[in-house]
Structure 1
């Protein structure tokens, strides 16, 4: 099993892919945190801010499969140019 990890991690170009994945995961978390912070400052209520973040997360979860299908049909560049979340 260690050999398969070693093979995967020594594949040329894998470091860029791993770095991109890590950045994307960090950005996704930061969007939720910044939305929570902004909503808390605007409403002075963690209840309302939590509802805002929950609504945003639900909207992303509902639309992600649709954007995935669009990206499969039109290509990732076309999809990203139109504002895919």
Structure 2
């Protein structure tokens, strides 16, 4: 298992059309975004229904940063992209 540097999570409402996950396809509604940054800078992105136990991977959003301090701005950028509730 890769050593974890930090983990962040934020709740949001899925954008129109939902969020595409690797395991179950599109999910919609009130969700929670989690990003985990390993000590080597790899960021893994997962999402779940708010309050649920099971997390789903968003592989297309995974990335690597050169400095683990960049984890927080990457998390906030992803949250901003995903949190676009229908008007």
Q: TM-score, normalised by structure 2?
A: 0.28
Q: TM-score, normalised by structure 1?
A: 0.28
* Structure holding more strand per residue: 2
